[in-house]
Amino acid sequence: MPNNDDNSDATSNVFIATYEQEFTDHQLTAVYGYAEYESEDAISSHACPLPLVDADLQDDYAQHSIDARLNSTNAETVEYVVGLFYQAADVNFTDFDSLDIVATRAKPTKSLLKPQQAAPV
């Protein structure tokens, strides 16, 4: 039977701020966004009751973005939108794997089944 010592924990935060300003023939819109998450997973990477291989995975992510636009508001022949966009992100991923050497030296248990004997020929 596999060992089910798997755990997972994650948190995330998101923040968005918008600024709008109207001028005579233009509208300025600026949007700032921030997102982050952290996660941690403990995984038993084996399929037997012995704790042979375990992994601890950690993930840390942060992102900032800024969007600024200036658009015309008059209904003239030419309408336009000009803008800038900036985004920066940082991600850190860590993986800790472990092998339990003591568990790999475990002695097999005696079988409850009797060995089969060959039928006489």
Domain segments of the chain as ranges:
7-104
Q: Say whether pTM exceeds 0.75.
A: no
- Beta carbons within 8 Å of 95's beta carbon, 6+ residues apart: 55, 56, 57, 58
What is the identity of the amino acid at 53?
V
Q: What is the pLDDT along the chain (121 residues), one digit of tens a residue?
A: 344 567 778 899 999 999 999 988 899 999 999 999 998 877 666 556 656 667 777 889 999 999 999 998 886 778 889 999 999 999 888 776 666 655 555 555 555 555 555 555 5
